[in-house]
Structure 1
Amino acid sequence: MNVEWDVAPGLTDYREAVAAMEARAAAIRGGEAGERVWLVEHAPLYTAGTSADPAELIDPRFPVHATGRGGRYTYHGPGQRVGYLMLDLAARGRDVRHFVHSLENWIIATLGDFGIEARAEPGRVGIWTGTGANEAKIGAIGIRVRRWVTLHGFAVNIAPDLSHFGGIVPCGLGQFPVTSMAALGKDVGMAQFDAALQNNFPLFLQLLGQEQKSALEGGLLND
């Protein structure tokens, strides 16, 4: 199956991005458009997922956008690669949990190309690196599935201003810091990271195509 791969130049307006993503998802379900991976950067902002706790919005120094994805508060801004995935799970197994696990492994493999040992942690959605006092979150995952088409996706910290995460309790996990590729000593450009993502995309599709066991239509997963 062909998947359109788009990289947006500059900074993409968040509200416009959500509207475009929802329109594309509806067109996919209607058989009027194909699947799409859309890579963007946003100006500094916070998003509130469906489980957001107002007490975790500590300092709303940037615009706050309510969003339909699962999870709590997260930050988007320059230096962070955000990937929006509009994929048809009706044609790819109807297994939301398997979709998320495949997505995690795609990002983990991509970070591994740059010498970063990343992993998923049971009970914590997202991508993690380091151990003990050095354990930190380097990537967030927040999705929504509507009529078996996926919306939203992932965010990986390439070289954002990590102080901007201080306005929220990121994803409700205040006991853990956030990190970035730059903070880990990896000088990686956005285009370089995008190329690695695309190179590992066949792995993601391969994993997604494997046997799937559980399904949850319209599921919401936390960041």
Structure 2
Amino acid sequence: MARIDARPVQWIISPEPVPYPVALDAMKARAAAIAAGEAEEAIWLIEHPPLYTAGTSAVAADLLSDRFPVYDAGRGGQYTYHGPGQRVAYVMLDLTQRGRDIRCLVKGLEGWIIDTLAAYNITGERRDGRIGVWVQRPDKGMLKEDKIAAIGVRVSKWVTFHGISLNVMPDLTHYDGIVPCGISDQGVTSFEDLGQLVSMPEVDSVLRSTFERRFGPTISASEESLVSTGPRSLVA
């Protein structure tokens, strides 16, 4: 999935939690600017306040609680949770420069997460028919496994937005308000739940190096470079 012309992707990290509607508007604006040739590709690493999002395949019965705000995301998939301790990486890439293959993109994103987990001796795995990355949990019983990362993307004019969410140290009880991704017979996990006590900056560093191996070079950019095509304030 490397870019044909090897131009670097802007790597942006928001230091404070970003409200979901603000992030969604900023992503849409940046994706439109990329499609118009007016902005560079970007990876945007953020955290959100606690909330649930509904993808285009969400089933109303899978929302079990209204304890947190619920937002229509406009991405593929069903219900998921975002909150503190979870690293969300919004992926704004120009697929006209990367092969125009959405299935390959999703596999690349799964591989990116799997490579990141491997750096911490965590074995992440794909599952046919279930997008995301899973970890076997024999300690919970035979055939039990937990989801550690979710993937949901949307493509408009061959530019991607939305992306991945990787559980580093979120409050996993917050998932109790939904049936995550419509799957009720398996659980969710995190680095912390698996005994890996790591900081978000440490995970960010590994995410960057593993991204570059699969998708090509990055260049650090400020939050302001993102909002130049979107809302001016990213913090509530």
**Fold match (TM-score > 0.5):** yes
Asked if residue 68 in structure 1 is aligned to residue 74 in structure 2, the reply is yes
- Measure the CA separation in 1 of the matches of 2:66 and 2:117: 30
Please report how far the alpha carbon of residue 2 of structure 1 lies from its aligned counterpart in structure 2 after TM superposition. 1.1
* 3-state SS, counterpart of residue 47 of structure 1: strand
2:39 is matched by which residue type in structure 1?
A: A
Match of 1:142 in 2: 152
- Structure 2 unaligned spans of 5+: 1-6, 217-236
2:93 is matched by which residue type in structure 1?
A: L
Please report how far the alpha carbon of residue 202 of structure 1 lies from its aligned counterpart in structure 2 after TM superposition. 1.8
Please report how far the alpha carbon of residue 53 of structure 1 lies from its aligned counterpart in structure 2 after TM superposition. 0.4
Please report how far the alpha carbon of residue 131 of structure 1 lies from its aligned counterpart in structure 2 after TM superposition. 4.5
The count of residues paired between Structure 1 and Structure 2 equals 206
- Measure the CA separation in 1 of the matches of 2:159 and 2:67: 33
RMSD of aligned C-alpha atoms? 0.9
Match of 1:168 in 2: 178
2:78 is matched by which residue type in structure 1?
A: R
- Alignment match of 1:33 (pick from 24, 32, 39): 39
Please report how far the alpha carbon of residue 97 of structure 1 lies from its aligned counterpart in structure 2 after TM superposition. 0.2
Match of 1:128 in 2: 134
- Alignment match of 2:193 (pick from 161, 183, 189): 183
Moved over 4 A (4+): none
* 3-state SS, counterpart of residue 142 of structure 1: strand
Larger relative CO (CA 8 A, sep 6+): 1 or 2?
2
Asked if residue 105 in structure 1 is aligned to residue 115 in structure 2, the reply is no
Match of 2:3 in 1: none
Please report how far the alpha carbon of residue 60 of structure 1 lies from its aligned counterpart in structure 2 after TM superposition. 1.5
Match of 2:120 in 1: 114
Match of 2:49 in 1: 43
Match of 1:220 in 2: none
Q: Deviations over 1:37-62 (max 9, x none)?
A: 00000000000000110000001210
TM-score normalised according to structure 1 size: 0.91
Match of 2:14 in 1: 8
* 3-state SS, counterpart of residue 12 of structure 2: strand
* 3-state SS, counterpart of residue 64 of structure 2: coil
Q: Deviations over 1:136-155 (max 9, x none)?
A: 10000000000100010000
Please report how far the alpha carbon of residue 203 of structure 1 lies from its aligned counterpart in structure 2 after TM superposition. 1.9
Percent identity (aligned): 52
Q: Deviations over 1:134-173 (max 9, x none)?
A: 4110000000000100010000000000000000000000
- Measure the CA separation in 1 of the matches of 2:64 and 2:128: 27
- Structure 1 unaligned spans of 5+: 207-223
